[in-house]
């Protein structure tokens, strides 16, 4: 009965196409709530904005920005802002939808949203970066706010960008609104533990999955794609637990070392120039070889659609921890399941970031800040409770962890939708 969305034509492996197929798989487990499922297949609100800025050389450049609020049945929209040359409305729609599923999976009182600008920030000066951030914030200011939609960092955005966003929004509303974004610097209402929270969540869920598989983390070989906020922190925590990081890939290329890369030396180099600059620490190999590296755990922590059917066929990993959002296409998901490779899906694996963002937001409103131990204890508890419930659901229905996460999350979202009823 519902008309198709006119502004997006997803293909099977596109981010929105991947998301739709993940929702379709959960329908048999929704019972009578299935009548509401269409609500998950379209965003509540999508805003496209023009972001003009004067460049340092005096020219005027225009960029395209987006903010999509996918679903707000359970609370305000929540989700990061990405600066990347390949950002599209379709990608942001999928990322916002995955936030809806994720916040429900860990039972935070939020809906899902996401934003982005189609720009390569590495080509901008600091001055231009500040201008583009401020103009974008002002343009989306009509739909964001501490009680409506709260942005956070994502690919190529960080605490400084959150500080500019907070300041711009605050200037426009005439007061200091710390709760409008999370992932802020500490002295601006940020939270201890936020920078490492996503990587920490990947580690906590990964450690539990390894335990259930009977895999010893000491000596386990790990390949990590994407060595930014999520990938490098997860790698560090696994290395502390005794694992060996045998391959790392970022936008500059791929480095391998079967004895384990020395992270204390790699991370500062990678942060500045990318992993390929760490030539002395390992061998530089063609990017496609990353997927054949002998490993026990694979951590995609870069972009969507990286684990294709072909790569799923050749990986030697027994456990995949989705640090990135949407890294596995549906066909690859099936191949991994058939091959007995366990996948801890993005919507629970990388939920540590939004969980500590929630703590930050709560602390901002109460103006009372917790110490790091308290943050980490609460984070670990929330992640473990969510994962255990998802695992029980997977065992009960004999389904993958991904479909089980969707079953738990969609029940919460659609129950809220049903109880609220349709307005008017
Ligand atoms: P980041 O900008 O800190 O790091 C991104 C990394 O990916 C960099 O190392 C970059 O070099 C690498 N990369 C970019 N393009 C690549 C390519 N084509 N091939 C290989 N590597 C490439 O971003 P981040 O915050 O670490 O986010 C990474 C992923 O994790 C994204 O999917 C993001 O949505 C997801 N995520 C992030 C958070 C968070 O709190 N930051 C939370 C949940 C999920």
Q: How far apart are CA 385 and CA 387, in angstroms?
A: 6
pLDDT tens, 186-199?
A: 999 999 999 999 99
The pLDDT assigned to 402 comes to 98
Does 4 count as an annotated binding residue?
no
pLDDT tens, 298-316?
A: 999 999 999 999 999 999 9
- Burial class, 129, CB count within 10 angstroms (exposed 0-12 / middle 13-18 / buried 19+): buried
What tokens were used for 264?
A: 């204390």
Residue 93 has pLDDT above 90, yes or no: yes
Tell me the residue length of the chain.
424
Give the CATH H-level superfamily of domain 197-349. NAD(P)-binding Rossmann-like Domain (3.40.50.720)
> Is 227 a pocket residue for ligand 1 (Cβ < 6 Å)?
yes
CATH tag for 43-174 (out of 3.40.50.10860, 3.40.50.720, 3.40.50.410, 3.40.50.800): 3.40.50.10860
Domain boundaries, the chain: 43-174, 197-349
Crossing angle of helices 126-140 and 159-173, rounded to 10°? 50
For all residues of the chain together, what is the average pLDDT?
97
Residue 101 has pLDDT above 80, yes or no: yes
Does 357 count as an annotated binding residue?
yes
Say whether 197-349 and 43-174 share the same fold. yes
The pLDDT assigned to 10 comes to 85
> Is 350 a pocket residue for ligand 1 (Cβ < 6 Å)?
yes
* Lookup result for tokens 């473990």: 384
**Mean pLDDT of the region 95-101:** 98
- 239 Cβ contact partners less than 8 Å away, ≥ 6 residues apart: 245, 260, 263
Instruction: From 166, 148, 299, select the one nearest 224 (Cα to Cα).
Output: 299
pLDDT tens, 117-170?
A: 999 999 999 999 999 999 999 999 999 999 999 999 999 999 999 999 999 999
The pLDDT assigned to 9 comes to 86
Whether 122 is catalytic: no
The pLDDT assigned to 110 comes to 98
Tell me how far the alpha carbon of residue 230 lies from the centroid of ligand 1, in angstroms. 7
Out of 129, 154, 278, give the residue to mutate to test ligand 1, the one with the largest number of ligand atoms within 8 Å of its CB: 154
Distances (CA, A) of 2 to 6, 36, 38, 39: 12, 12, 8, 10
pLDDT tens, 396-418?
A: 999 999 999 999 999 999 999 99
Residue 11 has pLDDT above 90, yes or no: no
Tell me how far the alpha carbon of residue 159 lies from the centroid of ligand 1, in angstroms. 15
Q: How far apart are CA 199 and CA 299, in angstroms?
A: 11
Out of 199, 230, 293, give the residue to mutate to test ligand 1, the one with the largest number of ligand atoms within 8 Å of its CB: 230
* 60 φψ region: left (φ > 0), alpha (ψ -120 to 50), beta (else): beta
* Pairing status of strand 45-54 against strand 60-71: antiparallel
The pLDDT assigned to 2 comes to 84
pLDDT tens, 196-254?
A: 999 999 999 999 999 999 999 999 999 999 999 999 999 999 999 999 999 999 999 99
> Is 81 a pocket residue for ligand 1 (Cβ < 6 Å)?
no
Q: How far apart are CA 249 and CA 298, in angstroms?
A: 11
Q: How far apart are CA 249 and CA 256, in angstroms?
A: 9
The answer to whether 94 touches 15, Cβ cutoff 8 Å, is yes
Say which residue, 8 or 328, is predicted with more confidence: 328
> Is 251 a pocket residue for ligand 1 (Cβ < 6 Å)?
yes
What tokens were used for 230?
A: 């999520």
pLDDT tens, 333-359?
A: 999 999 999 999 999 999 999 999 999
* Structure letter (DSSP) for residue 280: G
Q: What is the model's pTM?
A: 0.97
What tokens were used for 175?
A: 């007061």
When pLDDT is cut at 50, 70 and 90, the band that residue 3 belongs to is: confident
The pLDDT assigned to 388 comes to 98
């Amino acid at each position: 009965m519902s008309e198709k969305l006119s502004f997006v034509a997803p293909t099977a492996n596109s981010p929105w196409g991947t998301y739709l197929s993940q929702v379709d798989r959960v329908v048999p487990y929704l019972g009578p709530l299935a009548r509401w499922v269409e609500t998950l297949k379209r965003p509540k609100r999508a805003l496209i904005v023009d972001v003009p800025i004067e460049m340092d050389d005096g020219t005027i450049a225009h960029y395209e920005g987006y903010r999509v609020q996918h679903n707000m049945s359970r609370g305000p929209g929540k989700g990061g802002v990405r600066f990347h040359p390949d950002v599209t409305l379709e990608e942001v729609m999928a990322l916002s939808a995955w936030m809806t599923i994720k916040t429900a999976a860990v039972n935070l009182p939020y809906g899902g949203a996401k934003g982005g600008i189609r720009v390569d920030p590495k080509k901008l000066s600091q001055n231009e970066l500040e201008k583009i951030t401020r103009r974008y914030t002002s343009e989306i200011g009509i739909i964001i706010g501490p009680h409506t939609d709260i942005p956070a960092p994502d690919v190529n955005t960080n605490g400084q960008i959150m500080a500019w966003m907070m300041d711009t929004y605050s200037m426009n509303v005439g007061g200091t609104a710390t709760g409008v974004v999370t992932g802020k610097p500490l002295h601006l209402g940020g939270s201890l533990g936020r920078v490492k929270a996503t990587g920490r969540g990947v580690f906590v869920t990964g450690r539990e999955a390894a335990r259930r598989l009977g895999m010893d983390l000491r000596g386990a070989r790990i390949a990590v794609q994407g060595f930014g906020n999520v990938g490098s922190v997860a790698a560090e925590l696994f290395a502390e637990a005794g694992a060996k990081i045998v391959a790392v890939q970022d936008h500059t290329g791929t480095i391998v070392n079967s004895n384990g890369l020395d992270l204390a030396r790699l991370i500062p180099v990678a942060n500045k120039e990318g992993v390929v600059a760490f030539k002395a620490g390992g061998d530089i190999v063609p990017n496609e070889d990353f997927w054949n590296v002998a490993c026990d755990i694979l951590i995609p922590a870069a972009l969507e659609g990286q684990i294709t059917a072909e790569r799923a066929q050749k990986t030697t990993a027994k456990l995949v921890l989705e640090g990135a959002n949407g890294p596995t296409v549906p066909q690859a998901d099936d191949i991994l399941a058939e091959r007995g490779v366990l996948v801890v899906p993005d919507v629970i694996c990388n939920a540590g970031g939004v969980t500590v963002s929630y703590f930050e937001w709560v602390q901002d409103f109460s103006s009372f800040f917790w110490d790091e131990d308290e943050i980490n204890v609460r984070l670990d508890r929330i992640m473990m409770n969510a994962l255990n419930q998802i695992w029980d659901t997977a065992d009960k229905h004999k389904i993958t962890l991904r479909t089980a996460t969707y079953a738990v999350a969609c029940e919460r979202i659609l129950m809220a939708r049903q109880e609220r009823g349709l307005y008017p």
